[in-house]
Amino acid sequence: MKCALVTGGSRGIGRAVCVRLANMGYHVIVNCLSNETEARRTLEMIAQAGGTGELLKFDVSDNSAAVSAIESWQEAHPDTYIEVLVNNAGIRKDSLLLWMEQEDWSKVLGTGLDAFYNVTRPILRPMLVKKYGRIINIASLSGLKGLPGQCNYSAAKGGLIAATKALAQEVGRKGVTVNAVAPGFVRTDMVEGLDEAELKKTIPMNRFGEPEEVAALVGFLASAEASYITGECISINGGLYS
């Protein structure tokens, strides 16, 4: 049984990635924190795609919770390991830095950047032992160019991109690749409240992306065919920024 873990797998890009990996033959571990109803809907979609999956609830921003959940899962499945990790969980708390509360800074960094450490570290050792693994981090256009009102989100995603490049150099010789995907405006809950009609005028392709388009890229990076791609941050933004 080949296993993959997707954090924040209950909706949007995370859900689309779960279904894509299921289609590739992976048993998909769907992580969520509070939205169990939507996470179970993701499991239903995995089953409809002919795949298998399970729910693993834990707070990615809580190190002890993440380590405990992952180690417990591994102990319960001694004959396999998580060979694909998609660090997708993230939240937005937009505000100009002048008015940004410290709590909103910390929550966004905790879910978007601290989680990379909390989740990746306990999963990494089995990948290195088996000499095969795929780690894909969902970054953002905001982490590449910065967006006003998103100093916290830009910092989290920019840090995630830098961590991707560093870890790739640490583990490449062991057959583990580490890459990031940086979506632009993709039609998910994360873009609610944004003016799509105006924003799409700034996009050469004149539209928002779809979660399934991002999932297709993640699926390729998770595949054996992508074995010589590592340390990269690949933009998927309709030409908005490159």
DSSP, res 26: P
**Torsion sign across C-alpha atoms 18, 19, 21, 25:** positive
Rounded CA separation 92/94 (Å): 6
Active-site residue flag, 153: yes
Hey, is 192 helix, strand or coil? coil
Contacts of 178 (CB under 8 A, 6+ apart): 135, 137, 164, 167, 168, 171, 230, 231
3-state DSSP helix/strand/coil % of the chain, to nearest 5: 50, 20, 30
**Torsion sign across C-alpha atoms 33, 37, 40, 46:** negative
Contacts of 232 (CB under 8 A, 6+ apart): 179, 180
Which residues is 234 bridged to in the sheet? 181
Catalytic residue among 81, 153, 228, 241: 153
C-alpha separations of 98 from 91, 148, 155, 242 in Å: 20, 11, 15, 29
CB-based contact 200:237 (threshold 8 Å):
no
Active site residues: 153
